[in-house]
Structure 1
Amino acid sequence: MTAFPSPSDSANLARALAGLTRLRWVLLAIAVLTLTALSQTGWQLPLPELGATLVLLASANLLLAHAPLTPLAALRAGLVADTLALSALVALTGGAANPIASLFLGPVLFAALLSPGWFAWGLSLAATAAYGALFYWHAPWPLLGGDAAYAFHLHLTGMWFTFALSALLIAIVVARLAHDLSEREAALARAREIQLRNEQLVALGVQAAGAAHALSTPLNTLTLLADELAAGHCHDAALSEDLALMQAQLASCRDALAALKRGGEPASEAAPLFPTLAERLAAWATLRPQVRLEQQLPCAPGPTVALDATFWPALYNLLDNAAEAGGGRVELAATLTDATLTLTIVNPSGRLSAEQLARAGLAELPTDKPAGLGIGVLLTHATLSRLGGRVRLINRPEGGVCAELVLPLAKDT
């Protein structure tokens, strides 16, 4: 069995058609075995007519599986063929007195699920009319013996058989429907979370644009003051070192505002992975002189890749969180497995609450150092999701917080 789609979903209708085709073959095999068994007991059955009906249904099943029809048209034609074949089989074996007449519910059920609307109503009325006609137009009931008690017992046995078959079909259909509904509910929940996150990112982008405009003037003023102080105290070594650090920090702020004005960093060129990563980490460490970054990178240069420019701010967000929560020490380890880069960033102290772990990356949460979870993880999660990767935060048993960043790589060709 397969998913039960809307009539406009051609792909799902094709899968439903394939499922019904397989189910029809199973029912045909059951019918052939049943007729073979009954013929061995001495029942007076019109075997040529019954065999011809089953052959026609099998031919229709085979033809519809390869006919140049739309999935919806083939599905409807198959259900009509099922109704006609069942009408013929019941008419040849006693009419409405035959318990297998209850199987008329099968085509009606599938029509209501797969093709709701006029076709389902039409097939339902046709099946009802066919069932009613079988009270008057049918061959005699093929009894083996003439007593009423035997006939009644036979009828009850047939009712049990049709009930078992109908219950099995309904259980399969309802179970599949429940599974499909739960999957769609989960997909809708994920879509709502993504939409909420995107709305938050748009709001952050608007606020960032306003902040960039507001910061440009005071940043230029601070740069001029730092330059004047550096020129006036060039003979004071200690002060000159502090002023040089201030100028570097201000230059970094100007570069960040310039990148924001351009709409992001320029596209990265292809370069060996681990030397590029080491260079970027060194640049981040320069801006964080109070933080000791302990890194473990492979000695080999790794593949030549062109990492998306947005990856680096996402990495820096995790490093910043770890630096602020880790008491001045951050550990980073990099591994490469099957063209997938894994970065493990650890701060030795701090702990995340259960709420923060559950919502990490899905919504902005108030930051409470040393846990250190806020907008940075939200932005990192959104960036990694767009690049096909993921980020996961866990509390280490020995203490501290570990951020695992996984990014599939596309080698430069």
Structure 2
Amino acid sequence: MIRPQPAAATTAAAAPPLPPIQAEPIRARTLTLLRWMATAGQAAALAGALMLGVRFPVVPVALLIAAGGLLNLWLMLRGPQRMSPRAVLGQLGFDLVQLSALLALTGGIANPFALLVLAPVTVSATVLGRRLTVALGLLAAALITAAALWGWPIHDATGVRLELPPLLALGHWLAILVGIGFFAIYARRVTAEISDTTNALFATQLALAREHRLQHLGGVVAAAAHELGTPLGTIKLIAAELEDELSDRPDLAADLATLRQSADRCAATLRSMGRAGKDDLLLRAGPLRVVLEEAAEPHQNRGVIIQIDADGPDIRRDPGVIHAMRNLIQNAVDYAATRIEITAFQDADSLTVTISDDGPGFPAGLLPRLGESYPLGPRSVSTRKDGEGMGLGLFIARTLLERSGAAVDFANLRPGAQVTLRWPLALIAADTRQALGENPEITG
């Protein structure tokens, strides 16, 4: 059994935060593999240029290529490492500086491999945030501009200088700058859309799983309602006979009365479940206060004061919503010390209903998980006055309410607990001006 919460104001949002975990934007192994490929390509280009007799500073170029290989070897010796976004930015920045230095030593903007400066910025756009990508893009623009202005000229085997005409060099430089911005924006937009789609798919899978569990529970409830009718009738009959036969045993009278009341309560619940799909065909809307009183009515005589302060619009009498609120009110009554309060507030576009009690409150560690099915396995989510539960009622209530469009929030007060339900007004308000439909025909 979990101890009650101390009398302190806590909410699901204000629960003690866990230490932040920095998600790994890209694996170190991926960057290392890409750098090995770049190093191999640079070495192959160096060898090809030498075979063609192109003249350029060979030793500095070879040292820069070796620097990329040495960085990879150092990373491999360190073993697998968790990479933060800034660590990824540092590695991509190194690749950009190394590539720009190679371009500056091999003809600058005239080098046909100058377009490769787009690669680090594109990778950054797919795995890093906007600010880091913008910073890397500005660095790439500055480096390629420096390489274009102060690049080391190269010559062919006959000593002819290999360079682009000024107008063509300017166009090449502008094309690279445009490419940096275009590829960064394009890669980021595509990545964001893929991420949004993945998140939406994950949320849909969770919703479908919850719907599946609820439908399964609905079948179980229907079967239980059918099967419990006869045993409850038998219990009531035997209880009545025992009252008659044990009329001379006043010490048992209270227990027999409690037994009959419990059986009557179960029977009333089963009748209410049976009427849920029938009565509401004739009465689909009602004043907010009346609907809340209907939800609270089964718990009015359980030794806890239920105060309702709700003047709001006419709302839909959705049996699922009424059952869910009844479940939440029952939970509040089970835990309350003396009273619960049900209040409602309407603004321009939403309706908010709160259910508060003066009990021990929810365990702070469970606030983010309340409303899930079996949040603790076969244990209660708080200390009850009448035994243990499994959190299944809160799961059913939350699922039904969210299906109606409500946002459900659990919080702790000082003292007590509070459940807040918030609907967009368009989803819960009823249009009482529309036609009621044909009256039922009464015969006999």
Letter in 1 for 2:419: A
1:188 corresponds to:
201
Q: Distance in 2 between matches of 1:245 and 1:411?
A: 43
Q: After superposition, what is the alpha-carbon deviation per residue over 1:306-357, rounded to whole angstroms, capped at 9, x for unaligned? A: 4212211100111121122223532222223336432211122334345532
TM-score, length of structure 1 as denominator length: 0.55
Letter in 2 for 1:378: F
Q: Distance in 1 between matches of 2:241 and 2:304?
A: 28
Q: 5 Å matches for 1:329-368?
A: 329-338=339-348, 340-353=350-363, 356-366=366-376, 367-368=380-381
1:205 aligned onto 2:218: yes
1:387 positional shift: 1.3
1:401 aligned onto 2:413: no
Contact 2:358–2:416 at 8 Å: present in 1 too? yes
2:337 corresponds to:
327
Q: 5 Å matches for 1:200-239?
A: 200-228=213-241
1:283 aligned onto 2:260: no
Q: 1:324 to 1:232 in 2, by over 3 A?
A: same
2:310 corresponds to:
297
Letter in 2 for 1:280: E
TM-score, length of structure 2 as denominator length: 0.51
Percent identical residues: 27
Task: Say how many residue pairs are matched.
Answer: 268
Unaligned regions of 5+ residues in structure 2, if any?
Answer: 1-109, 119-160, 434-444
Contact 1:345–1:404 at 8 Å: present in 2 too? yes
Letter in 1 for 2:356: V
1:379 corresponds to:
396
1:187 positional shift: 0.7
Q: 1:209 to 1:149 in 2, by over 3 A?
A: closer
Q: 1:232 to 1:333 in 2, by over 3 A?
A: farther
Q: Distance in 2 between matches of 1:310 and 1:279?
A: 15
Aligned Cα root-mean-square deviation (Å): 3.9
Letter in 2 for 1:411: D
User: Greater share of helix residues, 1 or 2?
Assistant: 1
Q: Distance in 2 between matches of 1:352 and 1:304?
A: 32
Match of 1:403, SS state, is: strand
1:411 aligned onto 2:411: no
Q: After superposition, what is the alpha-carbon deviation per residue over 1:209-235, rounded to whole angstroms, capped at 9, x for unaligned? A: 343344223211122134445667899
Unaligned regions of 5+ residues in structure 1, if any?
Answer: 1-96, 106-147
Q: Distance in 1 between matches of 2:252 and 2:343?
A: 35
Match of 2:279, SS state, is: coil
1:145 corresponds to:
none
1:165 corresponds to:
178
1:295 positional shift: 2.9
Q: Distance in 1 between matches of 2:345 and 2:411?
A: 18
Q: 5 Å matches for 1:68-87?
A: none
Q: Distance in 2 between matches of 1:194 and 1:399?
A: 33
